[in-house]
Every structure is written in structure tokens, then in C-alpha cells.
Structure 1
Amino acid sequence: MVNVIKKPFITPKRMNQAIHSQIRLTLLELSHATKAEISQRTDISFPTVSKALEQMEQSGEAVMAGIDESSGGRRPVRYALNAEHRYGLGVYLEKEETVYTVINYRGEAVATLNLPSVLEEGPEAFTAQLQTVINRYPSIQSVAIGVPGSVKDGKIFFIPEYEKFSQFDMKAFYEERFNLQVVVENDMNAAVLGYHDLSRRVDNQTLAYVYLGKNGPGAGILINGDVIRGSTFFSGEVSFVPQYDRYNFLEAVRKSRQAQQELGKSDELGDDMIDAMSRLVAALVSIINPHAVIFCKDDINRADADKIALQCAKYVPDTHIPELVISDWKEDYLHGLQRLALHRMMEGL
């Protein structure tokens, strides 16, 4: 007997949702476009695009953004997403603060709020704070939350020093509490996604974003354009990478910082820190061979990056050493959360 593989049945409703989603993402990417441009970009027929845009105009999701010059026939209308149609929210939890950024339907930031940290207090304090922000902006439809810990399917399962959030199913709790679309992401995964989008790098690059941070080192890894989470969603926890006979990368960082403080040079990277970071880069080179490794500007400067590259050449052939980039971690992190909130909002419609 031949086993027949059943393919999932695509209902007209799902097909319509998929068409609208492609048109949204195209308008988001291009800022504005004509029906013909959307049809060509998405491979959706012109009549289908016309019908979908008519529905999107009626619902207030899309608006006319201008009329092009005629090439002999009717002048083509240009469309754009209605910025005020819906709002999204990106929020990250850090040791010293909780930062909220409200975005419109085009992904543009309309407000940023810096509020006290809630990591020590736990979910109850965060819920109260989040409720205040949502009350202030009732049009929010999606929330992307960044946390300094490991996340699987919206549940935080590893978050050192902040045990009150450990095993907290943040996604399920807030979706039920606020009736919103919620995505929860590790801070470094969000940062590497944000950097990739802001830097306009070509698709399918392999990147590693390393941040020493306030809560210990972490890394976000993109391989061929996709975030790598690993079999147990523990990928990027570089604190545990063994480096020397008796300690790991986290312990190497702490020992170096302590030594620099004792020397009164806490603002400088010591030779031992340069070596520890070069060993980490060498490990990344030998395992994932990235196009670039990104560091936070608060952790190192250009001269430090050059020293790391030179030291790294002692461990791997210098032809394989990637570009070492200095970037703004907070900017990348918030942008990554904004994109996650925006895409979640568009997918959830």
C-alpha cells in the first residue's frame, strides 16, 4: 500500500491573509509603491493586488501616497501603509533601566520612555509598568520584549541573577493579560537582528554580536541570515566558553576588570582582556566563520578591535579573521525589538 503524504489544505481565508501580509511587507520595505510594482515584487497577479489594496484602503490600513506621471494610460496611484493604523511596542529589561519605544505602523519610533529597572522586583512590577505604558498608548497591538536570558517559545528558562523571572512564560502571560500579540526574545538575538537591518548588509550573512554587558557576556549569532538558537535554545551563552585551564570567558572578563580597577585603569582594556576576547573571536571563526563580529562601543574602541585582530591571528590564520565592527548596542537592540513588534503585528492581523 502506498502512503500518500497529505499536504496542509490552504483555505481561502489563509490565502487572503498571506496575500495581505506580502503586500504589507512590500509597502514596509519600499515605503510606497504602485499596484504594478507590488505585483512584480510579490508575483501576485495585478487584479489580486488591486482587490487586496481596496480592502486595505477600506479598513484604513493603506492610504494613497501620490499619483505617478502617465506613460500613455491612466496615471498609476501610489500606495503606502497608514502610519496611524496601529501601534507596536518594543521594550527591553536591563539591570539599570527598562526602555520602551512606541512605533507606528510604518516602524517609525514615535515615543521612547526610560523607566526604572524591574529585573530585581520581578514580573509583578514589570506588569504594572507595562500596563501604564499600554494605557497611555491604547492603539498598541503588539509587544516585543527583550530580556537578558535564554528564551524558548516565549518562556524564560535561564536568566542569571534574576530568579523571579526564571521559568516565567512571559509570552503566554501577557498575551492573555493584555490581549496583544507578544514576542519575547533574548537581548543579543534582538541586537544582531537590529544591527543586520540597520547596516543594510546583504542577505544571508553570518554575523556574531558580542556584548560584555551589565549582566555578563552574551552573543547573538546569525548564520546565513537566520538566528541560531540551538537544540535547547542556549546558543549565544558565551560566558561558559572555556578559555584557560581553570576558568571560562565570564571569569576571564571579571578577572581582567578587577585587575584593571586595582591598577586604576578601569576605563582601559588590559592585555588579558584583549587575549580573552581574541580567543573568543578565534573560537567563533573556527566554528561559524562569520563575515563580521560586532562589539558594543561601550566595551571596546577601534584601537582595541585592532589589537584583538592582531592577537586573534596567533590562534587562527589571519585570512579567516572577520571584520571587527564597533556599534551602538542600545540602538541595535531597540531597532531589533521594533522590527519584531512590527512584523508580529502585521502577521497577526
Structure 2
Amino acid sequence: MHGIRVALLQMGSATKANLCDRAGISFPTVSKMVSRMEKSGEVFAAGLDESSGGRRAQRYVYNPEYMLGLSVFLEKNETVYTVFNCLGEVKEHGSCKSFLQDGKGALMAWTQEVLERFPKISGAAFGVPGSVEKGRIFFIPDYEGFQNLDLQGIFEERFGIPAVVENDMNAAVLGYHDRSGKGMDHSAAYIYTGENGPGAGLLVNGNVVRGSTFFAGEVSFVPLYDECSFLQAMQQEKDRKGIVNLKAISRLIASLAAIINPHEIILNHKEFHVSQIPVLIKESTKYVPKEHLPELALSDWREDYLHGLQYLALKRILRS
């Protein structure tokens, strides 16, 4: 049913013949699936199509309230979540205490309360400040309760609902890409200094780059200086002045330009000001010719992060 769901959501309304063409499914199969979906309330009849000389065909629309999604991101000082329908319309948005120190038990108990209030939730996406491989969090410094935790497996076994677990920066760059309507040939890097240390999300030709061991984007370890890493350089500058180290950021921008040559590098608008963009460009050109530098953009990291999780959860829901 995935193809029919996607087609109806993208097209707004469609006849069975439209769905055959769009989803590449035979007419008898489409008819059987649409009848089943109509009986369950997943699709509604929306009137007859315009006449083309023969019998007028019935049009159908998808019921966006039939299944809901849950997106949750875990941060050092808070947990932020949204409940949304299949059109991305938010039913509830809020925040509560962070569960990173309390561990999985507190997170699962809170999640159960949300699911009881919204029983139509049919898929979820969790974002974490750590490295993730197939739903298992394997590198998340300072949060021992989540280290080597198969959060996806635990959630799915307990609630019987499909889930996705994603690194925070991967979700953010994916969310930015989808929100901005960039094409599939677009490449970008999202840099965030963050409460849990700096990280980056990498997108090449519309696909998130996770790396052979799912460690891509852990820029804290990049040795930009002889005696210290990118993380150490950022910490030293903040300790002295309480501000972001623009020289270290510029070196990272130049490194990314030389390695993946993205169209765009995105920075969190709450960490950088538009007046700093020329400074970053000037500093970066000390290492890379200006014509090869990406465009620098400011965006809302929280909104991009949540949208990326919502995008992942919706994909999971429509395949369920």
C-alpha cells in the first residue's frame, strides 16, 4: 500500500487509473487495495472525476488523520517532541525534561503516556546527540545509560510500532534539505557547535553520508591544528572569550569544501550572526580558492532537526 499512500498524499486526490500510473500497480490490485483502505477509513471517496466521454471515475483522497507520527529529540537540557498527521500538520508540540541522564526507563514511560493520549501514532523517530547504527546508539559521550543501546529495538518490542533512531545532525541536514526544497543533486553540510559538542551532518547528492562505521560527521575529532582537535580549539576560544571560534569554523569550512565540495554549508542562526558570514568567507579563502567555497546559509537548527525526524517517521509510517 506504500505506493498508493504516497501517490494520494502527493497528488491530493486520484482515480484508480491515476494510481495505477503513478504507483506502477495493476488495476485489479489497486482496486482491491483502495477498497480495503476505504473500508478501514484510510481513504475517502471524493466525488466523481470530470467526464471524458465514458463513465465518470471515482476520485479518492487520503485521510491524513488515519495514522499519526511522533518525532522526539533528546538534548542535554530538554526533550522536544511533535505529534503530527500524514500531511505534516502538528497535533501537539512541546518539551519536557531531558531523559539523557535518567536513562531508557524514564524515556519509555514518558513515551507510553504520549501513545496513550494519541493511540493513532503508527511510527516514531528519535534523534540523539550520538552515533547510530541501525537503531543502536554506539557513541554518545557523557550519557552512559544510552551507550550501546538498541533504542529502536527496545521501542518496537515494547510498543509494536515501527521506529527510526537517527543522529541529530543527520536529521538536521535532512530536514533542512526537505524544508528548503533542494533537488536530489544537492550537497550540503550542516555545522552545529551544540550543547553536547560540535557535530556536522553531511548530505551528498540528496543522501545522508553516514560512513562505513556510521561515524561520519563527528568533526570534534578533526585535527585542524598541530596540538589540538577542532573540539579543543572551540573550547579554548569559548573559555577565553565566551564566543565561537570563527577561525576554527573557517578551517572546518575550508576542509569540507576540499573534501566533499558541497553546494552549501548551513549554520545555526542562534550560534552565528549574518554579520559573521563575510568573516568566515574571508578566513576560509586563506585555505581554499573563493570560487570553490560553498554558499553559507543560516537556518533554525531546532526546526530543521524536528522536520528531519518528522520526515523519517513519516517514511516509516507509510511503509508500515
Is the counterpart of residue 152 in structure 1 residue 124 in structure 2?
no
Per the alignment, residue 185 of structure 1 pairs with 166
Per the alignment, residue 55 of structure 1 pairs with 36
Question: Normalization by structure 1: what TM-score?
Answer: 0.87
Is the counterpart of residue 347 in structure 1 residue 319 in structure 2?
yes
Per the alignment, residue 221 of structure 1 pairs with 202
The answer (yes or no) to whether the contact 2:183–2:206 under 8 Å persists in 1 is: no
Q: Secondary structure at the match of 1:326?
A: strand
Among 107, 111, 120, the residue aligned to 2:101: 120
Per the alignment, residue 162 of structure 1 pairs with 143
Provide the C-alpha distance between the structure 2 equivalents of 1:299 and 1:66, rounded to a whole number of angstroms: 51
Change (3 A) 1:317 1:59: same
Provide the C-alpha distance between the structure 1 equivalents of 2:34 and 2:235, rounded to a whole number of angstroms: 56
Q: Secondary structure at the match of 2:270?
A: coil
Per the alignment, residue 302 of structure 2 pairs with 330
Is the counterpart of residue 136 in structure 1 residue 117 in structure 2?
yes
Q: Secondary structure at the match of 1:324?
A: strand
Please report how far the alpha carbon of residue 69 of structure 1 lies from its aligned counterpart in structure 2 after TM superposition: 3.2
Among 280, 287, 307, the residue aligned to 1:308: 280
CA deviation string 1:264-297 (max 9, x = no partner): xx4xx4xxx2211111111111111111111111
Pairwise CA RMSD: 1.7
What letter corresponds to residue 142 of structure 1 in structure 2?
G
CA deviation string 1:232-258 (max 9, x = no partner): 110110111111111111111111212
User: Alignment length, in residue pairs?
Assistant: 320
The answer (yes or no) to whether the contact 2:2–2:318 under 8 Å persists in 1 is: yes
Please report how far the alpha carbon of residue 43 of structure 1 lies from its aligned counterpart in structure 2 after TM superposition: 3.3
Structure 2's unaligned 5+ residue stretches are none
Per the alignment, residue 256 of structure 2 pairs with 284
Provide the C-alpha distance between the structure 2 equivalents of 1:86 and 1:169, rounded to a whole number of angstroms: 25
Provide the C-alpha distance between the structure 2 equivalents of 1:123 and 1:177, rounded to a whole number of angstroms: 12
What letter corresponds to residue 64 of structure 1 in structure 2?
A
Question: Normalization by structure 2: what TM-score?
Answer: 0.94
Provide the C-alpha distance between the structure 1 equivalents of 2:89 and 2:55, rounded to a whole number of angstroms: 32
Change (3 A) 1:207 1:66: farther
Instruction: State which drifts further: 279-288 or 21-30.
Output: 21-30
Please report how far the alpha carbon of residue 47 of structure 1 lies from its aligned counterpart in structure 2 after TM superposition: 4.7
Provide the C-alpha distance between the structure 2 equivalents of 1:93 and 1:41, rounded to a whole number of angstroms: 38
Please report how far the alpha carbon of residue 72 of structure 1 lies from its aligned counterpart in structure 2 after TM superposition: 3.2
Please report how far the alpha carbon of residue 195 of structure 1 lies from its aligned counterpart in structure 2 after TM superposition: 0.9
CA deviation string 1:8-47 (max 9, x = no partner): xxxxxxxxxxxx2112112223333333433333333445
Instruction: State which drifts further: 97-106 or 50-59.
Output: 50-59
Per the alignment, residue 106 of structure 1 pairs with 87
Provide the C-alpha distance between the structure 1 equivalents of 2:125 and 2:63, rounded to a whole number of angstroms: 21
The answer (yes or no) to whether the contact 2:130–2:141 under 8 Å persists in 1 is: yes
Per the alignment, residue 11 of structure 1 pairs with none
Structure 1's unaligned 5+ residue stretches are 1-19
Provide the C-alpha distance between the structure 2 equivalents of 1:105 and 1:60, rounded to a whole number of angstroms: 14
CA deviation string 1:94-141 (max 9, x = no partner): 111111111123332211121111111111221221121112112212
Instruction: State which drifts further: 235-244 or 41-50.
Output: 41-50
Q: Secondary structure at the match of 2:190?
A: strand
1:83-102 counterparts in 2 under 5 A? 83-102=64-83
